[in-house]
Structure 1
């Protein structure tokens, strides 16, 4: 199968639902392959990592977008994403990122551990109540979505009563992140963008009237004090992207990761007894079935990677899910092994656009995954999970489970190890 045919398969519904066989077909052609005029696909780990850090490659900013997507301003979804830090290059990207970065420092994230644990415990209590007598529970709706959306909404100052609104709106909007989108899908994305923008416009006005101790208030005050530092469009666009990115990746990480662990009971048992192993497990879950499968870059100057010359203006699709399974970087990449040495998945990107909330997403998974295993030792699939037909953001639409009898096994003493030793990169943490 040549690269162009492989790309067509990857963009089809079956290819999106399970992209890994297609990644291997592409990998057979090399770590960087040409799939069309000025279009290149990257499957190699080293190549993707270096390109993400190379200043010759940037995201599609306004100047480039005007050349390749004329009329893009007429789409609320494209315009909203384009005004955020997600789709801007330095110096605008650096300026916007600095304004939000204070809410995501390691110290502030670490201080949220108890809050995350309390929310996770409460959600597990709800799963036990709804799953009494063997009734199936949708893990995505009952845990994987409400946990991270509750955390990011608390940071942003979004009232708890409004949180159920965002799952559909975000699902609609994020269709615009797919490498190929139909006019009908774009219309749905535009609807989601309009709803999210309208919501945050009202929240901004509310915070102007009554400031609060939250990130929305902080960004509103920056804008009101100096519109050059953060314009009105940038304020709304970044609030939307902080919300959406703040739960989409973690929701998919929790769903994908739980299915992997249910398929690997021995590894699940080790983590159940030793929650201090969670960092190594989470990194391997990110590598094995990444919640973010791709990102894109445009070259602004000639470059060469993987033995392929990339002229200025080349459009690159970096297949992060394929890079995370590059056998040159990870031997036996199709095997789930949290004991691997040096697990550094590219699921959160690398370089200037490395995910601002990566530390928060990891914390939520470090806390939630072992807690689920300990409190719900009888957790099992209650039917076939339904995958979302998406390539960029890989996750489940529904994940039916039976919760079994609830239990809270004794917590292992930090420093103890399972039969196979401590997972690479794991450091003891207070469960």
Structure 2
């Protein structure tokens, strides 16, 4: 099977459900493989890391999309995402990212640990009440979603009564990030973009009039004082991105971790007993079943290469993060789930200029939440088959029913 055929298979429901066999086929073509005249496929860890860290490999920003996607401007979801740091290049990316990073600081995230711990135990109390009669509980809804959405909304300043409306909206919006989305999915993504833009327009107006100690207030003040550094459209786009990215991947991380712990009861027992660092578990889940499976770049300079393979200007680059995280040249027994690994360095949070701003927060939430969940419910067990979301780029569960024991 050549590279083009592998990409076609990855876009099918079966390929999205279990992409790892296809990744192995792609790996057989080499760590960097041509998929036709204008596309290369990267499965190697070192090569993917190199591309992510090379500024001349750029994301598809508004200018590029307007050239290559005639229908781009017709989709509010694509336009909204293109105005955020996720799909911006220099100099706009650095200008916006530096402002967001100045308020979304490592110190601010580290200071959240007591609040995260309190939120975890409050949600465990609610989960215990819901499953007290022995009936199954969907841990994705009761815990894996509610924890990170509550934390990021607290940071942003989103009122508590609004927080649980966002799961469906985020799911709809992120369909626009997939390699292929049908007309119905794009229509839902556009509707979600409009609703989220409207929500943050109103919230920003309230914070402009009555500032509080939250990220929305901080960014609104910057945008008002220095509109040349952050436009109104960019403010809205990045607020939506902070919300969605702040819980979407962490929800998937928690669900993927729990499913793996059910499959590896020895690891669950060790985590429950506190005999290894939960950060090691988090890194291994990120490596073994990454919440982000694929990202892309475009070569926008002459003379670029990846792993010694020339990548001509204008060539698209598909970075198969899920494959790179299982590169046998980088990892011993890469298809073995082993939370005791050291120096894992998964590429799940990206690298280079676009390294995920929320990586520290996601790791904090997982490190607090997973040991507490297992300790609170020693008899926690699956209650029927979990349901995967039909996505490739963002991999996770839609439902994960459990009994609490």
Structure 1 residue 135 corresponds to structure 2 residue 135 = yes
Deviations 1:215-266 (A, max 9, x none): 0011111111121110010000000000000000100000000000111111
- The answer for the alignment partner of 1:425 in structure 2 is none
- The answer for the alignment partner of 2:213 in structure 1 is 213
- The answer for the alignment partner of 1:408 in structure 2 is none
CA distance in 1, matches of 2:237, 2:306: 33
Deviations 1:100-144 (A, max 9, x none): 113432222121111101111111111111111310000110000
- The answer for the alignment partner of 1:43 in structure 2 is 43
CA distance in 2, matches of 1:160, 1:22: 42
Uncovered stretches (5+) of structure 1, i.e. residues with no partner: 405-431
SS at match of 2:318: strand
Post-superposition offset of 1:71? 3.6
Structure 1 275/77 Cα, relative in aligned 2: closer, same or farther at 3 Å?
farther
Contact 1:104 1:360 in 2 (8 A): no
Deviations 1:11-64 (A, max 9, x none): 101111111111001111111112233011111100000100012201012221
SS at match of 2:133: helix
Contact 1:6 1:26 in 2 (8 A): yes
Once the two structures are superposed, the pairs formed by residues 59-138 of structure 1 within 5 Å of their partners are: 59-138=59-138
Contact 2:292 2:348 in 1 (8 A): yes
Post-superposition offset of 1:275? 6.8
Deviations 1:363-393 (A, max 9, x none): 0001001111111111100000000000011
Uncovered stretches (5+) of structure 2, i.e. residues with no partner: none
- The answer for the alignment partner of 1:419 in structure 2 is none
- Range that drifts further, 33-42 or 1-10: 33-42
- The answer for the alignment partner of 1:310 in structure 2 is 311
CA distance in 1, matches of 2:162, 2:325: 36
Question: CA-atom RMSD, angstroms?
Answer: 1.1
Once the two structures are superposed, the pairs formed by residues 232-247 of structure 1 within 5 Å of their partners are: 232-247=232-247
Once the two structures are superposed, the pairs formed by residues 30-429 of structure 1 within 5 Å of their partners are: 30-274=30-274, 277-301=277-301, 302-404=303-405
Moved over 3 A (4+): none
Post-superposition offset of 1:307? 4.2
* Aligned residue-pair number: 404
SS at match of 2:297: strand
CA distance in 2, matches of 1:397, 1:90: 35
Contact 1:256 1:396 in 2 (8 A): yes
Post-superposition offset of 1:211? 1.0
- The answer for the alignment partner of 1:421 in structure 2 is none
Post-superposition offset of 1:70? 2.4
